[in-house]
Structure 1
Amino acid sequence: MRTPKCHERVSTVAVACAALVLAVTGTATAQPRHHHEDLGRQVLAAEDGWASYGTGTTGGAKADAAHVYTVSTWDAFKAALAAGGNAPRIIKVKGTIDADGPGCDSFAVPGYDFDTYLQTYAPETWGRDKDLSAEPDNSPEGLRRASQARQDAYIKAYVPADTTIVGIGEDAGFKGASLQIKDVDNVIVRNLALESPLDCFPQWDPTDTADGNWNSEYDSAVVYGATHVWMDHNTFTDGDHPDSTLPHYYGRVFEQHDGELDIVKGADYVTASWNVFADHDKTILIGNSDSASTAAVDRGHLKATFHHNLFADLVERAPRVRFGQVDSYNNHFVAGADYGYSYGIGMESQLVAEHNAFTLPSGVGAGTILKKWKEAPVTAADNYVNGRRTDLIAVHNTEVPGEILQPGAGWTPVLRTHVDSPKAVPALVDHRAGAGRLR
């Protein structure tokens, strides 16, 4: 029995920059103002993005001593999530916790064999006009489904309401974990390095595009129907398994990654601040479908703020937006060789992208920063590309004439503690965003 192999490689994205001492004033955005405070007790500042709306976001700050946990293993982390009933909790993560388990072979059910799977569903045998959804449980696809279910149960961790998860020190985080923030309120996740889960059992779909596609599960973090969530000072990467190391089968990349952060299914009031999103393809999805059933759930929700984040060496979705009122300001976008676009303008989206900085390599036009998927107006003001103020909508409409964007998202963000000059953003964000920067 064989399962797909992966190859180790050190990430090419240098997200850990040299330390830089910067003054912290009373107007500094989303930075802890009292560094001597217990990180687990810190809460989101007032007016700091959509997560501060209404009741605000305090996570487990009110936890008593009995509900403060320090964990260094995956089993201990999941036990801390499950303990204590509905009481607020603080979970302090020490060191890097491996959520991958003993490896792909350990998740495979008896009888599953990847070579048999490849032979059975090869396009020259199976064709490209029918999917695999009707395959029985004892088929290669049925055994793949069962194997994937075992991995799913192991690597997903469900975060309860009124919880703070915080990394302690410079090397805290998870490898291969999928944090599920689902149908709960009031969650804080901070100071963690999150290496993307690797799907051991992607599904082949012959009908996905004319050539078929491999589709994978598992995001590093999913905000699903949840409210008041603060993601701060985390680092999201593919770590030792970037897409460039993945093999090809049937002439298509054997895709083993999904997203780094998804905000879906009516989720609301999310602030993502001072994070690093790096070395990934489909990075952040806000709203996961254009369908009528999805629209009924998402319309009027999916309110999210992104500020002072570093987006480095990504392909797309930083983020891709459907339906939501999304405020994105003071972020630094650094494009790499495989850059596709940053902002995806989707169904009924209301994106405001202001005061951001973009660093594009030679040969990449500023018109690619915005990508139009559906007709939806966008606000894009005071953005700088390679040090020059640039009208992103105008340059897009000039460089991509078949995708004309209309200005004016129809709302004005007010939940901002402070807006930095976009000229200062690269130095500020590159030296302060990401895990290991909180003390």
Structure 2
Amino acid sequence: MAAVTPRVFVSHLAGVPVFDPNGDQVGRVRDFVAMLRVGGKPPRLLGMVVEVVSRRRIFLPMTRVTGVESGQVITTGVVNMRRFEQRPTERLVLGEFLDRRVRLVETDEEVTVLDVAIQQLPARRDWEIDKFFVRKGRGGALRRKGETLTVEWSAISGFSLEEHGQGAESLVATFERLRPTDVANAMHHLTPKRRAEVAAALDDDRLADVLEELPGDDQVEILGKLKEDRAADVLEAMDPDDAADLLSELPEADKERLLALMRPDDAADVRRLLSYEERTAGGLMTTEPIILRPDATVADALARVRQQDLSPALAAQVYVCRSPDETPTGRYLGTVHFQRLLRDPPFTLVSSIVDSDLVPLTPDTPLPAVTSYLAAYNMVSVPVVDESGSLLGAVTVDDVLDHLLPEDWRETDFQGEEGIAGGR
């Protein structure tokens, strides 16, 4: 009899690259598809959900997996690029099994599933769920109390029942290495119930980052399921322009109620953005660019540019203005580009190296004119000033792209390729 392959825990495979036999990366593992079976048999593992380069999620049958090694999955060269659609008889292992509360058959004690082990059957290409790593009590992965143990499928019950109030700590733990846009993509493919549970488990800053990358419908759905105080906290953690875009999708009464719960300074920024037409420089801009006084030095500017939470577009330049240092500021004097900061000594005053030749935009500048400005001058960000010359904010190229692409671009593939090989 052939030796049984070592078991692998699925949390260790979440996000790992999938390669073809030539060593070219096909995509990354996002979940596993299992089918429950009658007669007490362990669930059969049908395949993997793989996210390819275009962000499309495809189904990769386990029969086409030739190796599951440390940090990678090897597959045959035949891949079906048809978009994955979950069937009624199928269960997603990461999305639906982790954090599920089940019971030990022997003691009827409640346990929470922290991880799932899979194993290839001897002398076959079939895979099945082998064991479950569980914690006694009602805690998830982030709760340290309670004994943990590894049990067989036959030792637990409860997977055939619909789960109410399922936690999400273990699933969230598998998202830790992912960028916000990838977490958003994963959440978009969850059920509304599971999406709400994951949102509840994310901290405010992480949820804010993820919300900014989700389609508008998902944003509204998730925000509507949060308690109002927490919804206001998450809106405060979002970039003001993204928070304004989200609030603009809500009924007027809900919008005003959430604005009233936000900190006054944050609410004021968002209200100011909501006062502009959507497809104008004022409606597109962020109110939090890097602003320095004329007596600041290149060293001061570089310190601000190095801030980790800044987007690359905002970090590409600093804006020099008279006091105050926050929008709307005193008189706008000019822009200092990042490359110029790298060429001058640290003690140089930014006021001596400002680029004042480019005319800033007014808040009522329409989107086509903003786009043309960025393209004509090869800029990634452009200042927006009012009629008195005070800096109101900056429009970045990523915000412009958001409005140039189709409304459902976050829900579609980066590319339109269609697969040709095989079927499920």
TM-score (ref. length: structure 2): 0.33
Higher helix share: 2
Higher strand share: 1
Higher relative contact order (CA 8 A, sep 6+): 1
TM-score (ref. length: structure 1): 0.32
